[in-house]
Structure 1
């Protein structure tokens, strides 16, 4: 579920739609959270679909650490990619505002932490040399993203959290401990999906 102070807007013909803030969303605010209306699909089911249906589904899905495809039911599926993203993922099934997001600012994610099945080619952006999102980006950029999430969590208890009640009970104790500085945030690497071929390679090398 997206934060209530967001809306869908048409950008242009090349990009299509995007999600934008309608009011200030301060740094550290839960801006998206997985909820019970979001749909989960096993890989076997997705691959069994008609090609047209499969392509449409994959366009809007991301994969979790178990390899399941997640389809968000609301406007979250329209959040665009940016290497300078305004959101940062956490290992607790929610994303935080990585900076103060002002009215009219676009809500963006770095698709690098979405376990993509194939490379995603991007438009050039300032302040980065990256031009393509790779399926294994999490293995290369996790430290940067962990720091970004940790910095955002420092503001967690000082901002309004209209989506806080949707935190998975399995994570709530840990999140509360991080928010008060008693524990460190877990690495986003825990969200990385190792494909069966990758797991075979790891076992063979060990």
Structure 2
């Protein structure tokens, strides 16, 4: 489920739709959480689709560490990629804001965490030398991404969590340990799917 203080808007003709904050979403806030309405598909499901349906299916899903395809039931599927993402997917089944996201600002995520089937070229972004995203990015950049998430976890219990219902108690305990000991307890590297 996507954070309630968001809305779907057109970004531009090339990118299409995106998710935008309607109010301030502070650093440390859960922005998207896996819930029981999200659809989970086994890898073989993609092979059963005709080309007309397989293209949008691949566009709007991501793969978890078991290789399953996850399709968000709400407008969470329209969160776009950025090399300077303001949200990151955690190993706990939710995404977290790694900095304040202001009203009117687009929520973005790092697609290198999504076990993409195929790399894709991206728009150049100022301050980044990267021009494409692939599943290999997770292996290369996980220490940097872990550090951003750990920093966001330090604000986790100080901010309102509208998606609190979807945050497992065991995950909260692990986040508290990470903050108390100032160390990564569960790396995003655990999200990596090594299969095809």
The answer on whether the counterparts of 1:87 and 1:107 sit within 8 Å (CA) in structure 2 is yes
Match of residue 115 from structure 2: 115
- RMSD over aligned CA atoms reads 1.5
Corresponding position: 1:195 with 2:195: yes
For 1:94 and 1:7, the matched residues in 2 are separated by 18
The answer on whether the counterparts of 1:29 and 1:159 sit within 8 Å (CA) in structure 2 is yes
2:148 partner SS:
helix
Corresponding position: 1:186 with 2:196: no
For 2:56 and 2:100, the matched residues in 1 are separated by 33
For 2:177 and 2:166, the matched residues in 1 are separated by 17
* Structural mapping, 1:2-151, within 5 Å: 2-151=2-151
- Give the TM-score, by structure 1 length: 0.90
1:172, distance to aligned residue in structure 2 (A): 4.0
The answer on whether the counterparts of 1:156 and 1:179 sit within 8 Å (CA) in structure 2 is no
The answer on whether the counterparts of 2:150 and 2:179 sit within 8 Å (CA) in structure 1 is no
Structure 1: give runs of 5+ residues left out of the alignment: 197-206
2:107 partner SS:
strand
Q: Quick check: which has more Rg, 1 or 2?
A: 1
**CA deviation map 1:48-98 (0-9, x unaligned):** 111211112111000000000000000010011100001012110111111
Structure 2: give runs of 5+ residues left out of the alignment: none
1:179, distance to aligned residue in structure 2 (A): 5.0
Q: Which deviates the most, 73-82 or 187-196? A: 187-196
- Give the TM-score, by structure 2 length: 0.94
Task: List, as ranges, runs of 4+ consecutive aligned residues in structure 1 with deviation greater than 2 Å.
Answer: 168-185
1:33, distance to aligned residue in structure 2 (A): 0.7
1:169, distance to aligned residue in structure 2 (A): 4.8
- The alignment of Structure 1 onto Structure 2 pairs a total of residues equal to 196
For 2:23 and 2:185, the matched residues in 1 are separated by 28
